[in-house]
Chain A
Amino acid sequence: MELQTNVDGADVHVHEHHHDEHEHHEDGFIRKYIFTEDHKTIAKQFLILGLMWAFMGGAMSVIFRLQLGFPDFNLEWLRPILGTWINETGKLEQEKYLALVTMHGTIMVFFVLTAGLSGTFSNFLIPLQVGARDMASGFMNMLSFWFFFLASVVMFTSLFLETGPASGGWVIYPPLSALPEAVPGSGAGMTYWLISMALFIVSSLLGGINYITTVINMRTKGLSFSRLPLTIWAFFLTAIIGLLSFPVLFAAALLLIFDRSMGTSFFLSDIYIGGKPLHHQGGSAILFQHLFWFLGHPEVYIVLLPALGITSEIIATNARKPIFGYRAMVGSMIGIGVLSFIVWAHHMFVTGMNPFLGTIFMLLTLIIAVPSAVKAFNYITTLWKGNIIFTPAMMFSIGLVSLFISGGVTGIVLGNNALDIQLHDTYFVVAHFHLVMGSASFFGMVAGVYHWFPKMFGRMMDDKLGYVHFWATFIGVYLVFFPMHYIGIAGFPRRYYSFSTFDFTKSYADLNMFISVAAIVTFSAQGLFAFNFVYSIFRGRLAPQNPWGSNTLEWTTPRVPGHGNWPGAIPTVHRWPYDYSKPDSDKDGFSDFIPQNIPFSQTPHSNFENENELIAKQEGKNAGGNQQHHH
């Protein structure tokens, strides 16, 4: 199997088609690949659309990094792509610079790291790892993708508007986002942004309800919550967080729509713009920020938790060692999930919010550092005395842990309100969240792709290219974001088109240039990944059934699982997913792992005492057939 060449692969492929035609139970092209209800295909749809957005969002950052690193550089050559966004002098239009920054943020946070990450892996892994034939509602799942697709179409269209897409920052604070007089992007562009996000929220809720229902109701026999893989715990908690927080953003967006189009004054008051006073009175611009960050902060964990879940799984598998502190990992994820709802105002220390409230939110914010630290220590301990195989997925997971720590510790600085006075809205913040949530989550997503690619497409990605991709990206990300802290400490504000106006921002031109070069190289290195991804779908080596020697249920399915995932009965789960290198087991080295579906009775040597006690119960249960098991 492992030595099969592409010729063999082609043979198998032909054979499969033949098989399909014969049985006449397969759906047609449209039902199979477009309006599909199969969770695996929906996952791939999320992944491919998410990756397309990732490249677009990345390209945008390269363009504005050119402006920041090389302010005198003539961008005339970009006119074929950017059109009038480049002005007569060959410079990026100032308002379009803001549009690029805004779109980069929106795309990366929502379309790539929410839909592309959570959408892909929750969809792909939840049914496969809990032992279900599909999601609780395949139809809702299909709608979830197509709402995301619609949201994408609307957002993409807004790029081509004459007045440009939304340009008030991804946080779209009113009044800037409410008044077309303030910035052209707040005209039609902002309307498109709001419509797109409303559709996106619908998509996210439809998906979330499905994930939660599936995890609660459709776990296979024997798969108690205490035996769930940490991936599933992460997706489950992420979905709950999303379900509770996205509606608040929806409310904020709706009220903003009212303010923009129907003359209400939820967020607007006392405004004089364009040479005349507006009629709005009594609204509060700060109210919007409270609503926005009530989603916005949990959103950070919506982005991060799935990546951490994926990492837990990959690190345990490739260290050939159980994840350290399973219960502590679950506990800290629950802790992070709960705390994520009560820290939002740390984004607002200097908005004029009551300073006493600032102290409360600092306290709550720094508490969240504790479960995060526990997670980091547990990852590190999992590596200790392991037997580590550096697959590309493993390397990206180790990279994630490093980035999570490096970006996390600066959160301790920013979460301290006294320090936030100076650092708020400087490049220190940009560096912090790009490491801890941007890069770390992106690493989680890429690790997930490398790890589950064989199950998604039945073929292997090239690992050598994967290694080069990892080292280029890992080094690149540090070169981009580490020096950015320095620029922030020097007080450089965010979202500045140019640093030539102020004396205090005259330094660091060289460092900004360096960051831009690093960003361009890092972005280019993603081409390796794109090539590897596309090439391997069609020409990659055929995957063995369980290439990484992993314990979870998805690796018990056929090479390319069909509709319904398992051709025969769904496997029963008998143990937790981390029985790697158990003492006294019959095997050793790489082969020393016991998948979740192997009963304890088959592994008499390696069982612990309490597990031996379970044998009797398990056998009794099997004899009892479908009878419910009482505790």
Chain B
Amino acid sequence: MLTVIFVLIGLLIVGVFLLLFRVQSLVTILRDTDERGGLSNRINGALMLLVPLIGFFAAVYHYPIAAKHFLPEASSVHGKETDSLFWITITVVTLMFLFTNAALFWFAFKYQYKQGRKVVFFADDHKLELIWTAVPAVIMTVLVLYGALVWNRAMMQEPPKDVQVVEVMGKQFAWQVRYPGKDGKLGKYDFRLTNDATGNEFGIDFEDKNSEDDFLPREIHIPVNKPVLLKIRARDVLHSVFMPHFRVKMDAVPGMPTQFMFTPTKTTVDMRASLGNPNFNYELACTEVCGKGHFAMRYLIVVDDEPDYNKWLAEQKPFLEEKPEFKGKGMKSLRKKNVATNEEIKTKKDI
């Protein structure tokens, strides 16, 4: 019943619209509206001024409400620098945006058609062209240089010897993390060793001695004010490591390990206190579309002060302790097994 009423109302609205339209177009035909600069032109001219103005004031009114959630507080060294660059750039481009749009709509309003207005035949002016080529060029140069400086500091530093290495691996649809353990070295891996059924989701090669103390925690813990080097990879499709509070983003690519180094500046506890939010957590998200669960690849990051971090480290148990059956198993044993299987198949065929 309700649907019928809705349909009827819809038809009525369409009918009224059509009728109005027909009346309007007939009136237009009767009254030769080809006079330029008529009422329509004046209304549109006025709106050219009014609409942008209303939009401007609405945006100004709304800005403080919206701005509360802008850039979550930066808690890494390079994040503070990119944030200043961001706000400087935003200021510059907002001024450009306002200045040019104001000119555009002001001229549209001011120079709307008037019979007898003397139009200036103004086809060229080299000085003006030079000015508005040079001014943007100078602004761009400043922004490029500033940007290159910040980028180089963020992305092109050699990792120090004592850097905390954390391996982050993306898969559909979860992150997994591996720490190098006491020796500070991650063991080798090979995608052919990956086996979800037996539990070697990383494809760790346990013939490599460095693998023996590697551990796989449930959340990332990192020490505050110490550089952290993320070793990033993916095992199925592209993913992208995104840690919004640390201003960290780097794609995870199957077959091509990537990395990102950053220094966190605020512990989770400090952050909770300063935000007044006891439930605050640093998060890791995926920003490269990877399929169905792309929007739900959440992983937690905890920034600890030195004592807390060491305490946490001491609690972690090497993977081999939980799964001792993997000990000594790696690429060599896999190859041996494959050769054996092949021979077996061959023998069976021969028989």
Interface set of A (CB-CB < 8 Å, partner B): 2-3, 5, 94-95, 98, 168-169, 173, 175-176, 179, 182-183, 268-273, 275, 277, 281-286, 319-328, 350-352, 355-356, 358-359, 362-363, 366-367, 369-370, 373-374, 376-381, 383-390, 395, 398, 401-402, 405-406, 409-410, 412-413, 416-419, 421-422, 424-426, 462-465, 467, 471, 474-475, 478, 482-483, 486, 489-491, 493-499, 501-504, 507-508, 511, 541, 578, 580-583, 588-590, 592
Contacts and interface: CB of A to CB of B under 8 A. Distances in A.
A71 B281 CA distance: 24
B15 interface: no
Contact of A367 (B93, B140, B242): B140
Interface in B135-166: 136-137, 140, 143-144, 147-148, 150-152, 154-156
A322 B124 CA distance: 9
Contacts of B59: 482
Given A381-B128, A541-B29, A270 B48 contact: no
Interface string B1-33: 000000000000000000001001100110010
B197 A268 contact: no
B302 interface: no
B266 interface: no
A419 B100 CA distance: 24
B218 interface: no
A412 B72 contact: no
Contacts of A352: 232, 250-251, 253, 256, 258
Contact of B29 (A5, A94, A285, A418): A5
Contacts of A395: 44
A581 to B, nearest CB: 4
A362 B192 CA distance: 38
Given A390-B48, A425-B288, 12 more contacts: A98-B292, A285-B256, A286-B253, A320-B119, A358-B155, A383-B108, A386-B119, A387-B117, A406-B101, A482-B59, A486-B70, A588-B116
A491 B244 contact: yes
A498 B40 contact: no
26 contacts: A3-B29, A269-B256, A270-B255, A271-B235, A272-B194, A273-B236, A282-B255, A320-B113, A321-B121, A325-B125, A350-B240, A366-B144, A377-B100, A380-B104, A398-B104, A406-B101, A409-B93, A412-B143, A421-B154, A424-B249, A464-B28, A474-B51, A493-B286, A493-B295, A502-B285, A581-B119
A374 B82 contact: no
Interface string B77-116: 0010110011001101110110011011101100111111
B229 interface: no
Most buried by B among A323, A386, A475: A386
B123 A355 contact: no
A366 B281 CA distance: 36
A404 to B, nearest CB: 10
Contacts of A495: 289, 294-295
Nearest to A373: B136
Contact of B113 (A387, A409, A418): A387
Contacts of B292: 94-95, 98, 183
B158 to A, nearest CB: 12
B37 interface: yes
Contacts of B283: 502-504
A339 B301 CA distance: 41
Nearest to A359: B148
B122 A356 contact: no
Given A270-B255, A409-B93, A471-B51, A175 B40 contact: no
Contacts of B274: none
B196 interface: yes
A326 B129 CA distance: 11
B144 A182 contact: no
B243 to A, nearest CB: 10
B264 to A, nearest CB: 15
A270 B89 CA distance: 40
Contacts of B194: 272, 277
Given A173-B238, A494-B287, A503 B281 contact: yes
Contacts of A494: 287, 289
A272 B236 contact: yes
Given A383-B108, A425-B287, A398 B48 contact: yes
Interface of B: 21, 24-25, 28-29, 32, 34, 36-37, 40-41, 43-45, 47-48, 51-52, 55, 59, 66-72, 79, 81-82, 85-86, 89-90, 92-94, 96-97, 100-101, 103-105, 107-108, 111-117, 119-125, 128-129, 132-133, 136-137, 140, 143-144, 147-148, 150-152, 154-156, 172, 191-192, 194, 196-197, 203, 232, 235-238, 240, 242, 244-245, 247-251, 253-256, 258, 279-281, 283, 285-296, 298
B334 to A, nearest CB: 10
B41 A389 contact: yes
Nearest to B131: A377
A269 B255 contact: yes
Contact of A390 (B41, B81, B140, B295): B41
A378 B114 CA distance: 23
Contact of A98 (B105, B280, B291): B291
A383 B172 contact: no
A7 to B, nearest CB: 11
A418 B247 CA distance: 10
B240 A425 contact: yes
B300 to A, nearest CB: 10
Contacts of A462: 21, 24-25, 28
A588 B280 CA distance: 70
A344 B246 CA distance: 27
A327 B296 CA distance: 52
Nearest to B242: A493
Contact of B295 (A284, A474, A475, A501): A501
A15 B57 CA distance: 56
Contact of B238 (A176, A359, A363, A418): A176
Nearest to A389: B113
Contact of A168 (B100, B280, B289, B293): B289
A625 B151 CA distance: 65
Contacts of B67: 486
A346 B325 CA distance: 47
B113 A359 contact: no
A335 B283 CA distance: 43
Given A176-B289, A269-B255, A389-B37, A285 B238 contact: yes
Nearest to B32: A3
A277 B331 CA distance: 14
Contacts of A284: 255-256
A270 B29 contact: no
Contact of A380 (B51, B55, B103, B123): B103
Contact of B255 (A268, A478, A483): A268
Contacts of A507: 68-69
A493 B285 contact: yes
